[in-house]
Chain A
Amino acid sequence: MVSNTRPSRADYYRVLADALPEHALVVTALGNASYLWAATHHTPENFYIEDAMGLALPLALGLAVAQPTRHVVVVEGDGAVLMHLGALITVGAVAPRNLTVLLIHNGVHAASGGQVLTNPALDLAQLARSAGIGRAENVATPAAFDQALRAAFAADGPQVLVLSTEPDLDVVRPPITLDPVLTKHRFMIAIGAPRYVPTMFGGGRLKGD
Chain B
Amino acid sequence: MMSVAPAADRHRPSELLATLKRLGFGVAVAVPDSWLGEILMRIEQEPTMRLVRATHEEEALAIACGARLGGVRTAMLIQNVGLLSMGAGMVCLAQRYQFPLLMLASYRGTPEDPVFYHIPKARATEPVLTGLGLAHVRADPDRPIGLQVEAAATYAEEASSPFVLLLSREDIQW
B126 sits at the interface (CB 8 A): no
With A86-B55, A90-B54 known, 19 other A-B pairs at CB within 8 A are A47-B69, A59-B66, A59-B93, A62-B66, A62-B68, A62-B69, A65-B50, A65-B63, A66-B74, A84-B56, A87-B55, A87-B59, A180-B97, A181-B98, A192-B71, A193-B69, A193-B71, A199-B154, A199-B158
* A206 within 8 Å of B (CB atoms): yes
**Residues 102 to 119 of chain B near chain A (Cβ within 8 Å):** none
* Number of residue pairs A-B, CB distance < 8 angstroms: 133
When chains A and B are docked, how far (Å) is the Cα of A188 from the Cα of B93? 16
In the complex with contacts A58-B63, A62-B29, A90-B55 CB distance below 8 A: yes
Q: Evaluate contact between B54 and A86: CB separation under 8 angstroms.
A: yes
- Binary CB contact string for chain A from 84 to 100 against chain B (1 if under 8 A, 0 otherwise): 10110110011000000
A196 contacts across to B, CB distance below 8 A:
100, 157-158
Residues of A within 8 Å of B53, CB to CB, are 90, 93
Task: Judge whether B27 is part of the interface by a CB distance below 8 angstroms.
Answer: yes
How many A residues touch the partner, as a band? 35 or more
B62 close to A55 (CB less than 8 A): yes
Mark A7-20 against chain B: 1 for CB-CB distance below 8 A, else 0. 00000000000000
Measured CB to CB, the closest approach of chain B to A208, in angstroms, equals: 8
A202 on interface, CB distance cutoff 8 Å: no
